[in-house]
């Protein structure tokens, strides 16, 4: 089961968490809806290539990554979306698109959008398209030690 390494990591560090099973969902917004979690409270992990180095950009399911802001934040020349071919081997225990934002498990830096850091709790994919993990943001931050900054653009709902 893909979430095994994640659970073992959290258990080893004495972190309290809740595992949330839901029907299969392949986008962060679908996962939030399926698990009955507001989209602003569900973190999605986006793998980016920052000057040739893979990293995680973590933001709300309701938001889009502003590549220009992330480039400014990192001082990089280029920040682009990583291709599956670039990162697939790093996540042998995860389904593509369901990677948890624990870069320390995958030798990657983690950048978290400021809006997520302001919440008391964080929920994210647990390595599958059918399970989320929810825990205190303070515990997540203590384990991952992400760089926190504002680098999102809000999605605008059309026809609502």
Flag whether 160 is in a domain: no
Residue 18 belongs to domain spanning: 4-154
Q: How far apart are CA 45 and CA 55, in angstroms?
A: 10
Q: How far apart (Å, rounded) are the C-alpha atoms in residues 54 and 34?
A: 29
Residue whose structure tokens are 């809000």: 154
User: For residue 65, what are its two tokens?
Assistant: 């990554």
Does 142 fall in a domain? Answer: yes
In a domain, 159, yes or no: no
Q: What backbone torsions phi and psi does residue 32 show, to the nearest 5 degrees?
A: -60, -45
Q: What tokens appear for 144 in the block? A: 């991952």
Q: Has residue 59 been placed in a domain?
A: yes
Residue 58 Cα distances to 1, 23, 48, angstroms = 23, 23, 10
pLDDT given at position 34 = 82
Give the pLDDT confidence score for residue 128 in this predicted structure: 93
pLDDT recorded at residue 1 = 39
| CATH number, domain containing residue 35 | 3.90.960.10
In a domain, 31, yes or no: yes
CA dihedral of 111, 113, 119, 123, whole degrees rounded to 10: -60
Q: What is the pLDDT of residue 41?
A: 83
The reply to whether the predicted model has a pTM over 0.85 is: yes
- Which DSSP helix (H) or strand (E) runs through 138? helix 137-144
Bridge partner residues of 113 (DSSP): 149
pLDDT of residue 155: 62
Supply the pLDDT for residue 138: 97
What DSSP assignment string belongs to 93-104?
Answer: TS-TT---S-GG
Domain count, the chain: 1
Could you say which residues of the chain have pLDDT below 70?
Answer: 1-3, 154-160
Residues 66/149, Cβ–Cβ less than 8 Å: no
């Amino acid at each position: 089961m893909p979430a095994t390494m994640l659970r073992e990591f959290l258990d080893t560090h004495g972190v309290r968490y809740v595992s949330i099973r839901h029907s299969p969902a392949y986008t962060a917004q679908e996962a939030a809806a399926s698990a009955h979690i507001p989209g602003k409270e569900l973190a999605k992990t986006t793998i980016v290539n920052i000057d040739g180095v893979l990293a995680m950009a973590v933001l709300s399911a309701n938001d889009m990554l502003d590549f220009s802001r992330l480039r400014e934040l990192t001082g990089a020349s280029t920040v682009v979306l990583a291709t599956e071919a670039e990162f697939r081997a790093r996540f042998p225990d995860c389904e593509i698109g369901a990677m948890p934002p624990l870069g320390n498990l995958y030798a990657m830096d983690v950048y978290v959008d400021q809006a997520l850091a302001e919440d008391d709790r964080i929920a994210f994919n647990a390595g599958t398209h059918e399970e989320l993990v929810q825990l205190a943001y303070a515990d997540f931050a203590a384990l991952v030690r992400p760089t926190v900054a504002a680098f999102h653009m809000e999605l605008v709902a059309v026809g609502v």
